[in-house]
Amino acid sequence: MSSRGFSVGEILGGKYRLCQLVGEGGMGSVWLGRHLLLDRACAVKLLGAGAGPLTAKRERFVREAKIAASVRHANVVDLFDFGETEGGEFFMVMEWLEGESLAERLARPPLMGMRELVSILSDVLSGLAAVHERGIVHRDLKPENIFLAREGDTIIPKLLDFGISRSSGWAGDAGLTAAGNTVGTPHYMSREQVRGVRDLDGRADLYSVGVILYRAACGRFPFDDDELTGLLMRVAEGEAPRLQPLHLDIGDGLVQVIDRALCSDRAGRFASALEMRRVLWAAAGSIPAGLPAVWGLPGSGLPFDSPGGAPAGSWGNTATDGSSTSVGMAHWRRLVPVGIALAVVGAALALTRH
């Protein structure tokens, strides 16, 4: 029995049997399920018991399902059903993935090569292009939300977790993500996302891709601080440090891609995910062979983001040895401290302008 009131063997919607609890957090739980008729494994995400029908929590869950179902792309996790239990709890059913998150892969030996990372992020950008074409901004793009699904001998990157995505396509979305109520993972947030601008667009996600590349290139985040408010203020008011003057031996083409993606003024970034993908792919040839992704150096942790320790960003089996049955799931963000810090940043910015 899980702390949310669901148990192994329970059948949802007359079709899905709950087989194993993957994990749970503030928004509910994720289970390994099985379609009774098709005998097919799936990931079942449950909002959880006790959520009232009119709460923003339920509205956000429904919106996440609509967004995930609206995008059909090889590099975006596939949602194929949505329902409600007899007790009134919502659930969504998604493809079950075998593999690990990009965060897990970057954190374990052997070190990933930069060329391999560029290949993965090129696929991610392809998926992002499909997401952006639907008028959706992911808003929480980070290694924990990129899953490296194994299909035979092939690795297919998949975008996960549209729980805080923003879309211009559905009524009521603006109320859930109003200006000034920005959420996300601080180290990966662009200037406009930190400032909570109303017309946020896909270039915020491209900035996040730039952050991943930056950290992989030099082992640090573009902005960091011992305090959350300080970090947000740096992002909101500062200019991202450029790699160009550091003369890193990662290839001039890659340096230029990263510097452009991290432009604080979004007008200076790539105009689209497909443009960034094209330029990034062209830069791959100039990356020295065997160059490792320098990830996780001392002092490059995530003190304000999802807690470390357990596997993150998973809709499937994260075992890498082919025998373990351990499974992991994304930690749901604790957004209250971020919201408070953003309010402080907003007030400080307002004072500096008067």
3-state class (DSSP) for residue 34: strand
Question: Cβ distance 16 to 42 under 8 Å?
Answer: yes
Q: Is 209 helix (H, G, I), strand (E, B) or coil?
A: helix
User: What are the residues whose beta carbons fall under 8 Å from the beta carbon of 204, sequence distance 6 or more?
Assistant: 137, 139, 189, 190, 192, 193, 266
Beta carbons of 261 and 206 less than 8 angstroms apart:
yes
Phi and psi of 149, rounded to 5°?
-80, 135
Residue 227: both structure tokens together: 């305090």
Catalytic status, residue 140:
yes
180 dihedral zone (left: phi>0; alpha: psi -120 to 50; beta): left
Are residues 150 and 320 in contact, defined by beta-carbon separation less than 8 angstroms?
A: no
Q: Which residue in the list 140, 161, 259, 305 is annotated as catalytic?
A: 140
Rg over CA atoms, the chain: 20
Q: Give 40's DSSP letter.
A: E
Residue 189 CB burial class (10 angstroms; 0-12, 13-18, ≥19) = buried
CA torsion, points 199, 202, 206, 207, in degrees to nearest 10?
A: 10
Catalytic residues: 140
